[in-house]
Amino acid sequence: MALKKGVFVLIEYTVYNKDNQKIIDTTVEEKAKEGGIYSENTKYEPELVIIGEGMMFKSLEEEIVKLKEGETATIELPPEKAFGKRDPAKIRIISARELSRRGIIPRVNEEVEINGQRAIIRSVGGGRVTLDFNHPLAGKTLIYDVKVVKVLKEPSEKLRELAYRWLKRALSRKDIRVRIREKVATIILPVRILSVENLGIAVRGIIRDIQKYFPNIEKVVFREEYEFPKKEAEQKREQAHSPKDTLKTEKEPPKS
């Protein structure tokens, strides 16, 4: 049965450049290490995809919807179905002086931002700099190895994934608990979330997503919890039953 629009799925993928078989991107740690693109700051784990929401190339999604939970596929995307063909009109030459005024020292193959657009410096010489505003993968045929890890069915699972995609830099999936009762959704987070930078932006993003994908929810409650380490809790219980308390109830032994 094909995956329908609006279905929440967790996807694993690895993307290769067909020309040289180089790994470009992946959600699998072993593949990242194999391809020499591993980063300690990146979480390698399945990613949330909502079918029909434009989270991936349309041609890629058209193949993924044919898969069932646990199934894999290798999908080839030519340039016109991926990042497009290279456009000569996006190659521009400007003066090195212009870059200097912007505080940029031109170096070949370095990525720069000009008027809000990203470009790669292709050459430097004679006081001129050649900038390539094409996407770095324009003109490339891409190979995707994909796996549908899980199809999410429970509303609480879906809502947790919506929250997690905004908080994944600070938390793990298991840190987030969700309860849905009638028309109220409660998102329970560890208290350390309060120290996260731009938390307000993340919270607003979560609320927008819930409004979009859970129109029956009328109220969202965010709750922070702190659980004392087990050892500390045991100490508190021992203190509550210390000898000082018991001595008060014991009778003194008779004097001889």
DSSP reduced 3-state for 140: coil
Query: Binning pLDDT at 50, 70 and 90, where does residue 247 land?
Result: very low
Given a cut of 60, whether residue 249 has pLDDT beyond it is no
Give the Cα separation of 3 and 83 in Å (integer).
25
pLDDT category at 229 given cuts 50, 70, 90 is: confident
Dihedral through CA 229, CA 234, CA 235, CA 238, nearest 10?
170
79: phi then psi, degrees, rounded to nearest 5? -50, -40
- The string of pLDDT tens digits covering residues 70-126 is 999 999 999 999 999 999 999 999 999 999 999 999 999 999 999 899 999 999 999
Is residue 216 pLDDT above 70, yes or no?
Answer: yes
pLDDT mean across residues, the chain: 91
pTM above 0.75, yes or no: yes
What is each CA distance from 162 to 10, 107, 173, 179, 209, in whole angstroms? Answer: 12, 40, 11, 14, 7
The residue count of the chain comes to: 256
- Do 139 and 85 meet the contact criterion of CB atoms below 8 Å apart? yes
pLDDT confidence bin for 238, thresholds 50/70/90: low
- Per the CB < 8 A criterion, the answer to whether 172 and 161 are in contact is no
Tokens of 88: 């000569």
Q: Domain-by-domain residue ranges, the chain?
A: 1-84+138-153, 88-132, 154-228
CA distance 186 to 159: 10
Mean pLDDT of the region 53-79: 96
For residues 186-210, average pLDDT? 95
Q: What is the mean pLDDT of residues 223-247?
A: 69
Give the percent of the chain with pLDDT over 70.
89
Q: Looking at residue 251, what is its pLDDT?
A: 47
The tens digit of pLDDT for each residue in 131-184 reads: 999 999 999 999 999 999 999 999 999 999 999 999 999 999 999 999 999 999
pLDDT band at 235; cut points 50, 70, 90: low
Choose which CATH entry (3.30.590.20, 3.20.20.70, 3.20.20.140, 3.10.50.40) describes domain 1-84+138-153.
3.10.50.40
Which alpha helices (DSSP H) does the chain contain, by range?
29-34, 58-64, 96-101, 155-167, 199-213, 230-240, 243-247
Task: Write down the pLDDT at residue 234.
Answer: 67
pLDDT at 137: 95
CATH architecture assignment, domain 88-132: Beta Barrel (2.40)
Q: DSSP letter for 53, please.
A: S
The neighbouring-strand residues paired with 227 are none
pLDDT of residue 248: 45
Among 104-113, 206-215, 224-233, the range with the most confident prediction by mean pLDDT is 206-215
Does the 154-228 domain belong in CATH 3.30.70.2210? yes
DSSP structure class, residue 44: -
